[in-house]
Chain A
Amino acid sequence: MKKRNRLPLFAVPYVGWMALFVVAPILMVVLYAFTDAQAGFLFSPDGFTLENFARMGSYAPVFLRSFQLAIVATLVCVLIGYPVAYFMAREGEQFQKMAMVIIMLPMWMNFLLRTYSWIAILDRNGFINQFCRAIGLFDLINGIFGTNLEYFQMLGTPGAVVLGMVYNYLPFMILPIYSVILKLDHSLLEAARDLGANSVSVFRRVIFPLSLPGILSGVTMVFVPSVSTFAISQMMGGGTQMMLGDLIELQFLGGAYNPYLGSAIALVMMVIVVICMYVMNRFGEGEEEAVML
């Protein structure tokens, strides 16, 4: 090549943009996290503090709850999503196409609205309770156990929040698993069968290990939004199941203005999530890459 390749210059505007709107904002979060709320500016005297992190201890329950609920939701997604993906991949082509559409379509309806719809289902006078009342389930239970049950309390419980997460993020689990299973090398399966493996061990020893990358990418796609959600926990938890997202939102646009503390929480969350991902990706070795197109 005689001429210098000048095509890299094409990226210059975007590199500038990234510096401004990707890197600088993250630096702002770091800056704020170490800034004293009273001083308000890191480089002023007394501006630097670790206080925001010191307070993190009192929010341990929130961290704990967020990670617990997100892990449970992720597990439930795997347990439901894997079989669905597996069964889907075994159907005919037409069916698969249809199923894809069915799974994707809800994403075009705003998730807040779909979640809100659950409130009408789960509320004290919601559809489920109305239904149970109508078929006399409460009378039956009360008759047997001598209790005084009038309704099932479903909203405002951790279970409701998990339900909201599973409902919203299940497609993110099904699709990557499905696409991995679909691409499995059939000759491998046949080889296994020819070598005398029954269908259970074919699944256990061949299909499942090979679909692991799909599960891993599904897990990240479900876990990250779950652990940081605030809208779902607010709606389904009725304000009693505070998650990390709520805690952060509360400090920025909610009722306890303190962006310094909010930044610190966001930073800690970010670091934990990055560590989780890193560990998981190591665990999945390079297989992840194979899934990404």
Chain B
Amino acid sequence: MKKQIVLAFTSALALGLLSSCAMDEVPEGSQSAVQTGGNRVVNVCSWGEYIDPSLIDQFEAETGITVNYTTAESNEALYSKLQGANYDVICPSDYMISQLIEEGKLAELNYDNIPNYALIDERFKNLSFDPDNKYTVPYTWGTLGLIYNSAMVSEPITSWDAMFDPQYAGDVLMIKNSRDAIGIALLDLGYSLNTTNEAEIQEAYEKLAEAKEAGVYQGFVMDEVFQKLEGGNAAIGAYYAGDYLTMLENNPDLKYVVPEEGANYFVDAMCVLKDAQNKDEAEAWINFMASTEASLKNMDYIWYASPNTEALEQYPTYYEETYGEPLDMELYEIMAAPSDVLENCESYLVSPLEIRTLYNDLWTDLLS
């Protein structure tokens, strides 16, 4: 069927001419460079806007390893993609790491190849998802909070209630992944983020569904949130602290708050898949990213806090040296939340299989 159309089109482009042009379009000699690179490659999958791209070039220049850098939308989407893809390094969040370990999908790391692991702060070691430090090297950490445009709301927002408030109908962007979205509703209801009580999860779902029904949500978004909030196309959204700071550069009216009900405190860590074909390269990459220099540079670019002790300490100085003005400590505390904020936050733990299935099902129902 479609053929007819295309046929009409192509006949409009006189036949012989285009066919010769089609041949010309093959880029000369570029295939090998694109497909296989040199001999050494590493396939990295991370999140969008989650690395200073110059670090990739730097790593390639230093090691001669070609980096295939791709991104996934969320932990759940990454998990889906793992089914058919041959990534070497991935960078999931805490609860997804536990799940992957549980399913035997991650490789144990050889920390001898990752000397920079020593630079990681003690409070980011022996975490619940990797109690014996066998699989992971933390990459960033931070909080999931509420972002709002102070020019578009009448009073400061301090509660997750705003995410469900019909007063803001059409102005709210809900986050588009099941764990965070249902988590926000759980927090607002005063439940634990890690509840395994199905009634509580169901209640959280109802809350989301009700708000959706009432037209509160302009959309369910992940990284689309940047454009929407920066451009004043929505007033309220839930997103990660680091990304808020990126948005702030483009729209000074935006405010970030860790709501009074608490929030999620996450750690994203680099891990290597069991089937990875480039394990040495993967470990070289991880080691590179964990270095103080890379961490500082990355922190400055993506505004997510690094777990590297030196980088965390040196960042305010680094900022002052780079930009010639002192770093606003308020911003620094949003990036690297102090302990009193973190006390009010909860990390995600891996849920049992039936709860995960419930999340998936409810999530599909919510969006449909």
Q: Do the two chains touch directly in the complex (Cβ atoms below 8 Å apart)? A: yes
Chain A residues close to B by CB (< 8 Å) = 37, 55, 58-59, 61-62, 97, 100-101, 104, 107, 123-126, 153, 155-156, 171-172, 175-176, 179, 217, 220-221, 237-240, 242, 246-247, 250-259, 261, 291-293
Q: How far is the CB of A262 from chain B (nearest CB, A)?
A: 10
Q: Is the interface of A mostly helix, strand, loop or mixed?
A: helix
- Kindly identify which residue among B1, B220, B365, B367 contacts A221, using a CB–CB cutoff of 8 Å: B1
Other-chain contact of A238, B12, B81, B177, B218 (Cβ < 8 Å): B218
Residue pair B217, A247 in contact (C-beta under 8 Å): no
- Measured between beta carbons, the chain A residues less than 8 angstroms from B231 are 123-125
Of the residues A97, A155, A240, A292, contact of B212 by C-beta under 8 Å: A240
Q: Any chain A CB within 8 A of the CB of B123?
A: no
B219:A156 contact, CB within 8 angstroms: yes
24 contacts between A and B (CB under 8 A): A55-B361, A100-B8, A100-B9, A104-B8, A123-B231, A124-B231, A126-B233, A172-B2, A172-B5, A175-B8, A217-B4, A221-B5, A237-B219, A238-B221, A238-B224, A246-B367, A247-B368, A250-B364, A254-B73, A254-B76, A256-B361, A256-B363, A257-B79, A292-B4
Given contacts A247-B364, A250-B364, contact A107 B8 (CB under 8 A): no
Write the chain B residue with the least CB distance to A104: B9
- Considering the complex, give the chain A residue whose CB is closest to the CB of B367: A242
Q: Which residues of chain B are near A125, meaning CB under 8 Å?
A: 231-233
Determine the distance from Cα of A252 to Cα of B76 in the docked complex, in whole angstroms: 11
B12 A100 Cβ-Cβ under 8 A: yes
In angstroms, how far is the closest chain A Cβ from the Cβ of B251? Answer: 11
Count the A-B residue pairs with Cβ separation under 8 angstroms: how many? 111
Inter-chain CA distance A273–B5, complex, in Å, is 21
Taking CB atoms, residues of chain A closer than 8 Å to B9 are 100, 104, 107
Complexed CA–CA distance, A202 and B218 (Å): 49
How many angstroms from the CA of A237 to the CA of B217 in the assembled complex?
11
CB distance from B67 to the nearest CB of A (A): 22
**Given the contacts A59-B368, A238-B221, A242-B368, A255 and B176 also touching, CB distance less than 8 Å:** yes
Task: Flag if A255 contacts B233 (CB, 8 Å).
Answer: no
Question: Do the beta carbons of B178 and A255 come within 8 Å of each other?
Answer: yes
A251 vs B367: C-alpha distance when bound (angstroms): 12
Q: How far is the CB of A115 from chain B (nearest CB, A)?
A: 13
Compute how far the CA of A71 lies from the CA of B73 in the bound complex, rounded to whole angstroms.
31
**Does B234 touch A at the CB level, under 8 Å?**
yes
Tell me the minimal C-beta distance from B69 to chain A in angstroms: 18
B47 to chain A, nearest CB (A): 13
B1-45 near A? 1/0 per residue, CB < 8 Å: 110110111001000000000000000000000000000000000
Chain B interface residue count, Cβ-Cβ cutoff 8 angstroms? 39
Max count, chain B CB within 10 A of own CB: residue among A97, A220, A238: A238
- Name the contact of B80 in the complex, choosing from A59, A124, A220, A254 (C-beta under 8 A): A254
Q: Are B363 and A124 in contact (CB under 8 A)?
A: no
- With a CB–CB cut-off of 8 A, which chain A residues contact B221? 238-239
Question: CB-CB < 8 A to A257: which residues of B?
Answer: 76, 79-80, 83, 360
Closest residue to B10 on the A side, CB-wise? A104
Known contacts A97-B12, A255-B74, A255-B178; decide if A176 and B4 are in contact (CB<8 Å): yes
What's the Cα separation between A139 and B233 when bound, in Å? 20
Known: A123-B231, A239-B176, A240-B219. A253 touches B80 (CB 8 A): yes
B77 at the interface (CB under 8 A from A): yes
Given known A123-B231, A171-B5, contact A255–B177 (CB-CB < 8 A):
yes
Report B168 CB to chain A, min CB distance, Å: 13
> In the complex, what residues of A have CB within 8 A of residue B74's CB?
255
Contact A251 B364 (CB under 8 A): yes
Partner pick for B233 among A124, A176, A256, CB 8 A cutoff:
A124
Contact between chains at A101 and B220 (CB < 8 Å): no
Q: Please give, as numbers and ranges, the residues of chain B lying within 8 Å of A252 by CB-CB distance.
A: 80
The reply to whether A238 and B4 contact each other, CB–CB distance below 8 Å, is: no
A253–B5 Cα distance when bound, in Å, is 31
List the B side residues contacting A55 at CB < 8 Å: 361
B170 at the interface (CB under 8 A from A): yes
CB A227 to nearest CB in B, in angstroms, measures 14
Cβ–Cβ contact B368 & A176, under 8 A: no
CA distance A101 to B170 in the complex (A): 40
Do B212 and A255 have beta carbons less than 8 Å apart? Answer: no
Q: Are A239 and B12 in contact (CB under 8 A)?
A: no
Instruction: Give, as a whole number of angstroms, the nearest-CB distance from A91 to chain B.
Output: 16
Told that A125-B233, A240-B219 touch, could you supply 17 new A-B pairs with CB distance under 8 A? A126-B233, A153-B218, A155-B218, A176-B5, A179-B8, A217-B1, A239-B176, A239-B367, A240-B217, A242-B368, A250-B364, A250-B367, A253-B80, A254-B76, A255-B73, A256-B364, A292-B4
Which residues of A have CB within 8 Å of B81? Answer: 253
CB distance from B296 to the nearest CB of A (A): 33
B234: chain A residues at CB < 8 Å are: 124
- In the complex, the chain B residue whose C-beta lies closest to that of A150 is B152
Asked if B360 and A238 make an inter-chain contact with CB atoms under 8 angstroms apart, the answer reads: no
Q: Is the CB of B360 within 8 A of A256?
A: yes
Distance between Cα atoms of A123 and B177 in the complex (Å): 23
Q: How would residues 261 to 283 of chain B score, 1 for a CB under 8 Å from any chain A CB and 0 otherwise?
A: 00000000000000000000000
Given A156-B218, A258-B360; A220-B8 close (CB under 8 Å): no
**In the complex, what residue of chain B is closest to A108 when comparing beta carbons?**
B9
User: Are B219 and A238 in contact, with the CB atoms below 8 A?
Assistant: yes
- Counting chain A CB atoms within 10 Å of each CB, the highest count among B7, B80, B220, B357 belongs to B80
Collect the chain B residues with CB atoms within 8 Å of residue A258's CB: 360, 364
Q: Which residues of B contact A291 (CB under 8 A)?
A: 4
